[in-house]
Amino acid sequence: MAELKDQLSLLGRHTEYKQDYAPDVLEAFDNKHPGNDYWVRFNCPEFTSLCPITGQPDFAEIRIAYLPDVKMVESKSLKLYLFSFRNHGAFHEDCVNIIMKDLIQLMNPKYIEVTGILPRGGISIYPFANYGRPGTSYEEMARFRMMHHDLNG
């Protein structure tokens, strides 16, 4: 395993906030317990993007939960990545899927799910996307959790 300081470039350094969607800020580090199944959860209660039609800000809470394998996402890079959606024109349903796919590409987790909790114009919307590594029990877990997902967030 490489040293953490050799794997990460953002932590402990000056923070630069990207002005538009920036998946390149995501960083991963080695999981010290790849043989264990355990949950890692993140909650971003102040997520914003721009409505692609009106250009107005859309506010949401984004929840991310995953079972890591060899790599894990570094939290500061995840925060900067999520902040990069601030000026990005996309519905939250799209953002939830983009976030999940970018994290899959970064880490190749065993399992991941991303949920949005969106109070929008007097109606709440709860997009949910998940993935389990194909050909494994995690793929079955993804099917099960999708079929039995609590749509109330």
Burial 102-131 (b: 16+ CB within 10 A, else e): bbeebbebbbbbbbbbbeeeeeebbbbbbb
Is 92 annotated to bind a ligand? Reply is yes
Helix (H, G, I), strand (E, B) or coil at 123: strand
Catalytic member of 6, 20, 24, 51: 51
Alpha helices (H) along the chain:
4-7, 75-83, 92-107, 137-147
Catalytic member of 20, 24, 44, 58: 58
Cross-strand partners of 94: none
Is 73 annotated to bind a ligand? Reply is yes
Is 49 annotated to bind a ligand? Reply is no
Known active-site residue 6 = no
Q: How many CB atoms lie within 10 A of CB 35?
A: 6
Is 74 annotated to bind a ligand? Reply is yes
Known active-site residue 30 = no
* Cβ proximity of 50 and 106 under 8 Å: no
Taking only Cα atoms into account, the Rg of the chain, rounded to an integer number of angstroms, comes to 16
Q: Which residues are catalytic?
A: 51, 58
Known binding-site positions for substrate = 73-75, 92-93
Known binding-site positions = 73-75, 92-93
